[in-house]
Structure 1
Amino acid sequence: MLLIDNYDIAIKHKPDLAEAYMNKGVALRKLGQHQEAIKKFNLAIKYQPGFAEAYMNKGDTLKQLGQREKAIKNFELAIKYNPGLIAPYISNVLKKLEMQ
């Protein structure tokens, strides 16, 4: 929980710091707190609308929750905003989702 506390401190000092919300979301997802993680990814996207990594992590979380269509939409947005960085990863995930 120390890591999450550090993100809370960062958010307290800079409430619009998208990276802090995204990283907190990743930490929450690792703890199994998927709904809270999605809320943090949404805040990251709110403060940085083209934040591809936030869309990618939100998609991963939705995939873990079995929300396939929502996951695909978020992966597509991640590709739209940063195709070079994460397209290979997301293409692989999309193929796996389409096979299900």
Structure 2
Amino acid sequence: MYQYQFNQQFPSGLADLCHREYQTGDYENAERHCMQLWRQDTTNTGVLLLLSSIHFQCRNFDKSATFSNLAIKQNPLLAEAYSNLGNVYKERHQLKEALDNYRTAVRLKPDFIDGYINLAAALVTAGEMEQAVQAYVSALQYNPDLYCVRSDLGNLLKALNRLDEAKFPDLCLSARNNNDLAFVIPFLLSNSDVNCVLYFGQRSMI
């Protein structure tokens, strides 16, 4: 989950309380305490993002979109705000708008794993399966340990009848854990997965 950054002027106890309440699903108290922080500084993007997420979880989509847009107004380069807004559009079945916001999010923050996951899920819903594969691959390039992403990508490749390539997500994890580049790179080359070849090549030089 995105770690919301609050201004240091806020009481650390109250900010921490907001996080704990949100993470434990106590959205009513999280919203109440977060509003206290927002009244102290209506421009703080961390507060705005958390309020957006709280209202999304409560399915108050209008309020969620409002706080996402307020965050974007304060910082037009804030990838997480576009991703939150994309979530609202996806729930409203406005897939074009959702995809536009998710793509903006990962363009602004190329290592935004949650953004790629959201983008991939929306692309699957839109029937854009090949693009969804690439979005999942992008997420795994930054963290091959993500079991849910590896599982979703493997299932998607199987659904596309690309059974050999469905082995790729687990190969990513195995190769990274064992540093077994000689094992995985020929497989990737045989499937023309240049992005992942480059990724493992970079990992070998770290």
TM-score normalised by the chain length of structure 2:
0.46
Matches within 5 A, 1:74-89: 74-84=135-145, 87-89=146-148
Show the counterpart of 1:4: 65
Q: Tell me which structure has the larger Cα radius of gyration.
A: 2
Stretches of 4+ aligned residues off by more than 3 angstroms: none
Distance, in Å, in 2 between the alignment partners of 1:98 and 1:49 is 23
State the one-letter code of the partner of 1:75: Y
Show the counterpart of 1:41: 102
> CA offsets per residue over residues 76-99 of structure 1, 9 Å max, x none?
001112333xx2111211222123
Distance, in Å, in 2 between the alignment partners of 1:18 and 1:49 is 9
Show the counterpart of 2:150: 91
CA contact (8 A) 2:102 2:118 kept: yes
Is 1:13 aligned to 2:74, yes or no? yes
Is 1:31 aligned to 2:92, yes or no? yes
**SS at 1:83 equivalent:** coil
Two-structure CA RMSD over aligned residues (Å): 1.1
**SS at 2:110 equivalent:** coil
Show the counterpart of 2:129: 68
CA contact (8 A) 2:133 2:157 kept: no
> CA offsets per residue over residues 22-75 of structure 1, 9 Å max, x none?
111112111111111111111111211111111111000001111111101000
State the one-letter code of the partner of 2:124: K
Give structure 2 stretches of 5+ with no counterpart: 1-61, 160-206
Percent identical across equivalent pairs?
30
TM-score normalised by the chain length of structure 1:
0.90
State the one-letter code of the partner of 2:117: M
State the one-letter code of the partner of 2:108: Y
Distance, in Å, in 2 between the alignment partners of 1:82 and 1:12 is 31
State the one-letter code of the partner of 1:74: A
Aligned length: 98
Give structure 1 stretches of 5+ with no counterpart: none
Higher helix share: 1
Instruction: Indicate the structure whose relative CO is greater, using CA pairs within 8 Å and at least 6 residues apart.
Output: 1
